Amino acid sequence: MAVEIGPLHQQMVGFVGEWAGDEEIFPNPWGPGGPATGRWKMRLDSSGMNLIQDFSEERAGGYRFEAHGVLTVDPGAGEHVWFWFDSYGFPPLTPSRGRWAGPVLTLEKTTPRGIGRSVFTLNRDSFDHRIENKLAGSDEFTPVMAGSYRRVG
């Protein structure tokens, strides 16, 4: 029996399009902090069940970060799951999981390095994205990145 497109799939549609914005990277174990520019291209696959994301980030000095994401739905759990592949090279051993609360989608995953949290706040023609980590052995989440993006296509 095939899964049918439902309300959780429809929540992803607001992300479809091209987005650009400014980011603040906070010093973290993977690199120094500073300003950056981010671009997202997001589309639904042909089934309409998976949001395909291509992300690129540029910083001063020619530093570039690339990533690809797939956001989908786990209908049994009633939540979104997010697989993320990036140029840091850590494979997604498990996806991030989460739910919407109004316009806010919060996704978390646990890895050997700790807990990662991504928070998306979606508006009609803009969204904010915040990343926080609670590293193994730490008691609190610390910011990694905060970005604000506007629709450009």
Q: State the pTM of this model.
A: 0.92
Task: Answer whether residue 109 is part of any domain.
Answer: yes
Question: 1 in a domain, yes or no?
Answer: no
Give the Å distances, CA to CA, from 66 to 12, 58, 142: 21, 9, 22
Mind listing the pLDDT tens digit for each residue in 20-52? 999 999 988 777 889 999 999 999 999 999 999
Please indicate, yes or no, if residue 70 is contained in any of the structural domains: yes
Q: Within a domain: residue 2? A: no
Please enumerate in sequence order all residues whose Cβ is within 8 A of that of 83, keeping only pairs 6 or more positions apart, or say none.
Answer: 69, 70, 72, 92, 95
Could you give the number of structural domains in the chain? 1
Helix then strand count (H, E) for the chain reads 1, 10
Write out pLDDT tens, residues 80-139: 999 999 887 777 778 999 999 999 999 999 988 899 999 999 998 999 999 999 988 888
CATH number for 102:
2.40.128.20
Pair type for strands 34-44 and 51-59: antiparallel
Q: Note whether residue 13 is domain-resident.
A: yes
Task: Indicate whether 81 belongs to any domain.
Answer: yes
In a domain, 23, yes or no: yes
Range of the domain at 146: 7-151
- Domain contains 43: yes
